[in-house]
């Protein structure tokens, strides 16, 4: 089931409380994250939050302890993967093939 990009889900999201989301990431992305809420967050591709609904983080670079399985969104949408912050959709990206 695809995770809905809703304000309710954004409010429930634990991503910014994760140890992987460092203070540096929080400060660096605060302005952009705030503006995303004012824009059409349902249509945006990237948001430094709720990685299970958006693409992977552009700030988090290493695996720490993962909170995904403790998140209400994880259970509501019956998600099965972890480390959504490092893997878009919880999966490694497929290598691009050039024709």
pLDDT at 3: 92
Domain hosting 76: range is 7-90
Instruction: Examine the pLDDT at 93 and tell me if it is beyond 70.
Output: no
Residue 99 lies in a domain: no
The tally of domains found in the chain comes to 1
Instruction: Examine the pLDDT at 48 and tell me if it is beyond 60.
Output: yes
Residue 25 lies in a domain: yes
Tell me the mean pLDDT in the region 82-94: 71
Residue 83 lies in a domain: yes
Residue 98 lies in a domain: no
Instruction: Examine the pLDDT at 73 and tell me if it is beyond 50.
Output: yes
Tell me the mean pLDDT in the region 5-21: 93
Residue 20 lies in a domain: yes
Cα(first)–Cα(last) distance of the chain, in Å?
32
């Amino acid at each position: 089931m695809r995770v809905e990009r809703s304000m309710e889900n954004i409010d429930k999201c634990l991503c910014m409380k994760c140890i992987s989301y460092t203070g540096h990431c929080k400060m660096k992305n605060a302005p952009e994250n705030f503006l995303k809420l004012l824009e059409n967050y349902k249509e945006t591709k990237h948001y430094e939050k709720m990685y299970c609904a958006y693409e992977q983080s552009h700030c988090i670079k290493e695996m720490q302890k993962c909170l995904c399985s403790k998140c209400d969104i994880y259970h509501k949408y019956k998600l099965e993967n972890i480390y959504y912050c490092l893997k878009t959709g919880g999966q490694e990206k497929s290598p691009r093939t050039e024709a």
